[in-house]
Amino acid sequence: MQIRPDGGALATLLLPFGIVLDSGVTPNIDDQPPLKPVRFRTCLPNGCIALLPVDASTLGKLRTGSRLNLKVIADGGNALGFQVSLQGFSAAADRVAALAVR
C-alpha cells in the first residue's frame, strides 16, 4: 500500500489465476455497498495484480472494518469471493505512512 498526500492510498491486490480478467475485482468492506470495480493491471508468476485507489473516507472505513471482501468471476463463470481480514490494518497503514515520511 502507498499512502498519498491527500490522505488516500493506493492498495495492491494480488489474486490467483483462474479468474476472468476482463471482469476485474469488486471490493467491499464488511456488509457495506461495493466499491467501484477495478481492472487487473498485469499477471505475474504468483498471481494477477489490480491497483485499488482508496480515498480518505474509504481508508477510514478500512481502518474500522473487520474484513475486505473481493469478488471476482471464476473462469467457469461462477462468482468467487475472497475475504481479507482487516485486523491490524490500522497499525500497518500508520507504519507505511511513517516510513513514507523518511
Per-residue pLDDT reduced to its tens digit, 34-89: 999 999 999 999 999 999 999 999 999 999 999 999 999 999 899 999 999 999 99
> Would you give the DSSP letter of residue 102?
-
**Is the distance from CB of 52 to CB of 13 less than 8 angstroms?**
yes
Determine the average pLDDT of the residues in 8-12: 91
pLDDT band at 20 (very low <50, low <70, confident <90, very high): very high
Which residue type is seen at 1?
M
Range of the domain at 49: 2-101
Question: CA-to-CA distance for 23 and 3, rounded, in angstroms?
Answer: 26
Count how many domains the chain has.
1
The CATH number given to whatever domain includes residue 96 is 2.60.40.1880
Per-residue pLDDT reduced to its tens digit, 51-60: 999 999 999 9
